[in-house]
Each structure stands twice: as structure tokens, then as C-alpha cells.
């Protein structure tokens, strides 16, 4: 990196931080008067089901999964602890794009569509003149209203999508947007490393895939593991993890392709780039596999990199735990747009010693399959219980700093703390009910979306 890009990066970071300070407690009118002459474009990149602890930048050393991601981290802000709002695509992506927890935007089941009264980022950014594109290789995002506010749309109808059609779509869209004068927002949803864990034919992997009897990366095999019908021995577990890692290496290759394309369009140094995932992926840590079903960290922790325009001279690591519910307020702040006062999230702290500006609500998570679980986090602590809970029902409490694998439930031994977290959960759930949109039933699911969901076992 040369001195000029370093200075540009630091200036951009400083501008964003002062914009965040201005956004706190200023009126929209006063704020608009300070709108900078150049409004930055924003690229949000999501890799489906990408665990942070399988990336080199997060300390993974077993296999070389992520050279591109690791290089990008060196010029970005890396969040050590980031959590999605749900361990499944639909609710998590709706939170990313609306800034509302799942039970506020209400898109928590495949039987609903996003209510028209709930704006997504393109509508919230419209007053600042933004254009927008959504491109998704995951058919799960099709037909539920998530894409409706975007100007340019490509959502592959098939389960695993067509890699080439997706690549062509986002390249064409970015070329169109980059050639215009107006700022733009791109939401790009890549399918790998989501199951099946099977790199494309001919993909050059820099590591071996050990074989073990009966083990594959097929969705049906993962489902049989999740139902407990098949058990893994150590060799089987290693073979499965290697296949997941192979898919991460594919994702990393696609990130490299995207960065090269943004460079080629001469926009990489002018955009805010966010790289993350919609949820994690489980490998039996709490008895379950894939995602959807629990609120434990293997299913909800996500990687999160934020590269400011121009990049940073040296990567910044932020230890403060954050949520993807903060993504929308962060983007609105970059665009000098007011953040709705009802938003649960706040702009991400973008420097090592920064803390959230006036965050008053906890980061929350809710799972999909019954019993739906709900969790709140507060610093070191994570508290969870089923959403349909009555006093005396199951509760769990973990010190996720000293016990990051959530092995040691301290609910029984810390009654005072449990009571405090229970009260905080009660208060947060009451707020989510108060802010909940009116649910909108899905009139008809597109047939190809239904096929995709059936193939994943998500619907019958
Ligand atoms: Zn997903």
C-alpha cells in the first residue's frame, strides 16, 4: 500500500467516525446540512454458512482455507466477535437488510413475506440518491420480498444456483452501477461454503481430502448426522471438516474474483466493503449439524471484515462483540442518512478502543426449528431460553469469554446474574413485540423456490 491510499483510508475512517458522532443526537435537518459532497458506495458480501474459526485471519491453521480473506483482513477492520441474528438464511439476511431483529421484521418462517411497511436498505438510502443491486446464488432468497426494494435483481431460482450465471449477473450489475454518477449499494450473496461440501470439478485444492468410510459432504449425509442416525469417529469428523474447508477455499477464490473485478472497475478504493456470513455451521458441538436449529455460537458466530475506502495500512482488530443487526445503521451512517430511532442496532465501533455509541439493546439471536430458541448477549455473558418460555422453563447461561464453546452452563450457580439476564431478555422481547410489523402471509411460494427448500429438507 502506498502513502496516498493509506492517507485516503485514514481520512475515510475519520470521516465515518465523525459522521457516527454527528448521527448521535443531531436532528435530521442539522444532519442533512452536513451531508458530504461525495456519498460513498457500499458493497455487502455474504458467504453462506461461513464459520470465522475456519479462516486464517481468525487463527485457523489446520488447512490453508482463506488466503484472500486473510490478505483483505490486513487492510480492514476485523471484528473478533460478530453474531448473526438468526442461524438461518431467511431471517438473518432480512435483519442485515432491514436493521430489525427477526421478530420485528417478522420474516421468520417460509410461510410469510417481508411486510411492505418494512423498508430494506435500498429504500432507506433512496433519499441520498442511491442505486442498488441484489445478486444471490441462493434460491432461498427468492420470492419472500427481500429483493423487492432493489433496482437490479438477480436471485438464482435453484438451490445451489448456477455459479456462472451468478458471476455474470453481479459483474454486469456492478459494471452498470460503476459507470453512473450516483452512489450505489450492492448486496452479493455467494453460496459456498454452504452444503453440499463439494468443490466444482477441476478446482485446484491446495490440500488433500482424506476419505473415510461413508463420509461425504452431501446434504442428505449431513441431515442423517443431524438426526443422530449416523455417528462420526475421529477420522470421519476430519474427513467432513476437510470437505467444508474445501468449500471455504472455493468461497475464498470467489472473493478474489470479486476484489479483482472491483479493482478493474476502479471502484475498490472508493467503496465501503463489508465481508461477512449469514450464520455459522455446526459439526456436532452440541449434537447438531448444519444450521437453523440452535443459538449456540457455532451456528451464529460470523466473520466480519469492514474495509474503508482506500483500505487501511494495517488491519485493526475490534474485540467489542457486535451484531449483524448493526449493519444497516452502519451503512445509513456512512451515507449520512438518519438511523431510525427504533432500530435495535448502532453503528459498529471501527477502531480498537471504540465502544458502541449509545447502544441500549442487547444483540439477540433466534433459531428456526421448534423449539425456537432465543438468546441475548451482554459482554462476557450469553443467556438463552425457548421463545415460548414460562418461568421455571429451561434457561442456559454461559461465560462465552472463558467458555467460548458453551460447555459449562452456569445458570444454576449464578442466580443473581441469571436473574439480571432474564430481566434483560424480558425487556428486549417486550420491545421486539412492540416494534413488530404486521405479519404478511406468503400468498404463493415460487415453485422452484419450494423445490429448493424441499431439497434442503427445510419444508416438506
Ligand atoms: Zn444461509
Look up residue 193 and give its three cell numbers: 461454503
Half-sphere exposure of 123 (CA within 13 A, CB side): 14
Tell me how far the alpha carbon of residue 9 lies from the centroid of ligand 1, in angstroms. Answer: 31
For the four alpha carbons of 307, 309, 315 and 320, in that order, the dihedral sign comes to negative
CA of 82 to the centre of ligand 1 (A): 16
Rounded CA-CA distance 274/79 in Å is: 11
Ligand 1: centre distance to CA 400 (Å): 23
Length of the chain: 460
* Span from the CA of 39 to the centroid of ligand 1 (angstroms): 30
Domain 3-361 has CATH 3.40.50.620: no
| Confidence label for 357 from pLDDT (cuts 50, 70 and 90) | low
The pLDDT assigned to 261 comes to 98
Alpha helices in 44-184 (DSSP H): 67-73, 89-98, 102-105, 121-125, 163-178
Distance (angstroms) between ligand 1 centre and the Cα of 438 equals 25
- CA–centroid distance, residue 436 to ligand 1 (Å): 23
The pTM score is: 0.91
- Dihedral over Cα of 209, 210, 214, 217: its sign: negative
Q: How many CB atoms lie within 10 A of CB 457?
A: 15
Is 273 in a helix, a strand, or coil? strand
Q: What cell was used for 96?
A: 442485515
Q: Who wins on pLDDT, 312 or 459? A: 312
Q: How far is the CA of 217 from the centre of ligand 1 (A)?
A: 16
* d(CA 89, ligand 1 centre) in Å: 4
**Rounded distance from Cα 85 to ligand 1 centre (Å):** 12
| CA-based nearest residue to 105, from 138, 49, 136, 149 | 149
pLDDT at 35 exceeding the cut of 70: no
289 Cα: distance to centroid of ligand 1 (angstroms)? 14
Measured in angstroms, how far is the CA atom of residue 274 from the centroid of ligand 1? 17
| Spatial distance between the Cα atoms of 41 and 356, rounded to a whole number of angstroms | 23
β-strand pairing of 112-113 with 77-79: unpaired
166 close to 139: Cβ distance less than 8 angstroms: no
Is 309 a residue whose pLDDT tops 90? yes
What's the CA-to-centroid distance between 158 and ligand 1, angstroms?
14
- 16 C-alpha to center of ligand 1: Å? 29
Residues 277 and 79: their CA atoms lie apart, in Å, by 13
- For 254, the grid coordinates are 470467489
Cβ pair 437, 103 in contact under 8 A:
no
Q: Quick count: other Cβ atoms within 10 Å of Cβ 350? A: 19
At residue 2, the pLDDT reads: 39
Per the CB < 8 A criterion, the answer to whether 428 and 436 are in contact is no
As a whole number of Å, the end-to-end CA separation of the chain is: 52
Check if the beta carbon of residue 236 is closer than 8 Å to that of residue 212: yes
Range name among 81-95, 158-172, 396-410, 417-431 with the lowest pLDDT average: 158-172
Q: What are phi and psi of 326, to 5 degrees?
A: -85, -5
Averaged pLDDT for residues 430-455: 86
Taking all residues of the chain, what is their mean pLDDT, rounded to a whole number?
A: 90
Q: How far is the CA of 90 from the centre of ligand 1 (A)?
A: 7
Domain chopping of the chain, boundaries: 3-361
From the CA of 419, how far away is ligand 1's center (Å)?
33
Ligand 1: distance of its center to the CA of 40 in Å? 27
- The x, y and z cell numbers of residue 70, run together, are 486473510
Q: How far apart are CA 164 and CA 294, in angstroms?
A: 33
Each residue's pLDDT tens digit, 91-135: 999 999 999 999 999 999 999 999 999 999 999 999 999 999 999
What secondary structure letter does DSSP report for 189? E
Residue 179 — φ and ψ, nearest 5°? -85, -10
Say whether pLDDT at 356 is over 70. no
Dist. CA 87 → ligand 1 center (Å): 8
Centre of ligand 1 from the C-alpha of residue 140, in Å = 8
What are the cell numbers at 90? 431467511
DSSP 372: P
Per the CB < 8 A criterion, the answer to whether 197 and 217 are in contact is yes
The model's pLDDT over 168-223, given as tens digits with 9 standing for 90+, comes to 999 999 999 999 999 999 999 999 999 999 999 999 999 999 999 999 999 999 99
Q: Per-residue pLDDT for 412 more than 60? A: yes
How many whole angstroms from 333 Cα to the centroid of ligand 1?
26
Q: How confident is the model at residue 447 (pLDDT cuts 50, 70, 90)?
A: confident
Return the percentage of the chain with pLDDT > 70, whole number. Answer: 90
**Distances from the Cα of 322 to the Cα of 49, 98, 283, angstroms:** 18, 16, 24
- DSSP secondary structure, 155-169, as one string: E-SSSS--HHHHHHH
What is the 132 CA–ligand 1 centroid distance (Å)?
A: 21
Q: What grid cell was written down for 313?
A: 495500512
CA atoms within 13 A on the CB side of 7: 3
pLDDT exceeds cutoff 70 at 3? no
pLDDT at 358 (0 to 100):
59
> Ligand 1: distance of its center to the CA of 194 in Å?
7
Q: Which residue has cell 420470492?
A: 143
Percent of the chain with pLDDT over 90: 79
18 Cα: distance to centroid of ligand 1 (angstroms): 34
Please tell me the distance between residue 430's alpha carbon and the centre of ligand 1 in angstroms.
27
CA nearest neighbour of 364 among 270, 285, 274, 432 = 432
| Residue 80 Cα to ligand 1 middle (Å) | 20
Residue 352 pLDDT grade (very low, low, confident, very high; cuts 50, 70, 90) = confident
C-alpha to C-alpha distance for 357 and 374, rounded to whole angstroms: 25
Task: Tell me the CA distances in angstroms from 154 to 132, 135, 161, one per residue in order.
Answer: 12, 5, 11
Instruction: With CA atoms as reference, report the closest residue to 356 among 322, 325, 387.
Output: 322
In this prediction, residue 50 carries a pLDDT of: 98
Distance from the alpha carbon of residue 300 to the mean position of ligand 1, in angstroms: 11
Amino acid at each position: 500500500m502506498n502513502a496516498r491510499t493509506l492517507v485516503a483510508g485514514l481520512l475515510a475512517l475519520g470521516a465515518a467516525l465523525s459522521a457516527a458522532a454527528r448521527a448521535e443526537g443531531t436532528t435530521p435537518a442539522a444532519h442533512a446540512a452536513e451531508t458530504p459532497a461525495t456519498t460513498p458506495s457500499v458493497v455487502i458480501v455474504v458467504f453462506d454458512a461461513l464459520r470465522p474459526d475456519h479462516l486464517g485471519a481468525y487463527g485457523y491453521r489446520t488447512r490453508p482455507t482463506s488466503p484472500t480473506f486473510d490478505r483483505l483482513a490486513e487492510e480492514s477492520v476485523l471484528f473478533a466477535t460478530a453474531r448473526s441474528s438468526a442461524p438461518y438464511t431467511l431471517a438473518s439476511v432480512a435483519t442485515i437488510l432491514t436493521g430489525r431483529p427477526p421478530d420485528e421484521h417478522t420474516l421468520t418462517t417460509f410461510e410469510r413475506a417481508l411486510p411492505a411497511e418494512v423498508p430494506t436498505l435500498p429504500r432507506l438510502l433512496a433519499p441520498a440518491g442511491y442505486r442498488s443491486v441484489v445478486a444471490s446464488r441462493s434460491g432461498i432468497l427468492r420470492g419472500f420480498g427481500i429483493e423487492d426494494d432493489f433496482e437490479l435483481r438477480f436471485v438464482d431460482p435453484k438451490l445451489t444456483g448456477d455459479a456462472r450465471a451468478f458471476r455474470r449477473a453481479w459483474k454486469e450489475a456492478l459494471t452498470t452501477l460503476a459507470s453512473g454518477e450516483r452512489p450505489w449499494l450492492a448486496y452479493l450473496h455467494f453460496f459456498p461454503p454452504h452444503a453440499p461440501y463439494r468443490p466444482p470439478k477441476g478446482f485446484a485444492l491446495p490440500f488433500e481430502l482424506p476419505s473415510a468410510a461413508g463420509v461425504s459432504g452431501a446434504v442428505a449425509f449431513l441431515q442423517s448426522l443431524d438426526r443422530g442416525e449416523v455417528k462420526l469417529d475421529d477420522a470421519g469428523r476430519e474427513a467432513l471438516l476437510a470437505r467444508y474447508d474445501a468449500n471455504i477455499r472455493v468461497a475464498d477464490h470467489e472473493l478474489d474474483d470479486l476484489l479483482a473485478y472491483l479493482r478493474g472497475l476502479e471502484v475498490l478504493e472508493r467503496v465501503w466493503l463489508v465481508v461477512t456470513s449469514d450464520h455459522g455451521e455446526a459439526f456436532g458441538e452440541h449434537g447438531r449439524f448444519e444450521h437453523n436449529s440452535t443459538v449456540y455460537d457455532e451456528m451464529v458466530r460470523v466473520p466480519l471484515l469492514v474495509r474503508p475506502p482506500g483500505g487501511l495500512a494495517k488491519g485493526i482488530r475490534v474485540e467489542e462483540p457486535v451484531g449483524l443487526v448493526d449493519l444497516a445503521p452502519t451503512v445509513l451512517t456512512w451515507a449520512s442518512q438518519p438511523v431510525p430511532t427504533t432500530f435495535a442496532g448502532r453503528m459498529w465501533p471501527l477502531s480498537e478502543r471504540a465502544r458502541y455509541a449509545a447502544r441500549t439493546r442487547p444483540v439477540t439471536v433466534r433459531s428456526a426449528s421448534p423449539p425456537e430458541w432465543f438468546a441475548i448477549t451482554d459482554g462476557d455473558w450469553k443467556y438463552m431460553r425457548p421463545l415460548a418460555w414460562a418461568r421455571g422453563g429451561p434457561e442456559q447461561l454461559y461465560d462465552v469469554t472463558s467458555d467460548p464453546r458453551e460447555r459449562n452452563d452456569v445458570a444454576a450457580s449464578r442466580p443473581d446474574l441469571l436473574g439480571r439476564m432474564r430481566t434483560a431478555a424480558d425487556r428486549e422481547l417486550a420491545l421486539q413485540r412492540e416494534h413488530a410489523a404486521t405479519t404478511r402471509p406468503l400468498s404463493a411460494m415460487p415453485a422452484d423456490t419450494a423445490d429448493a427448500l424441499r431439497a434442503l429438507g427445510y419444508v416438506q
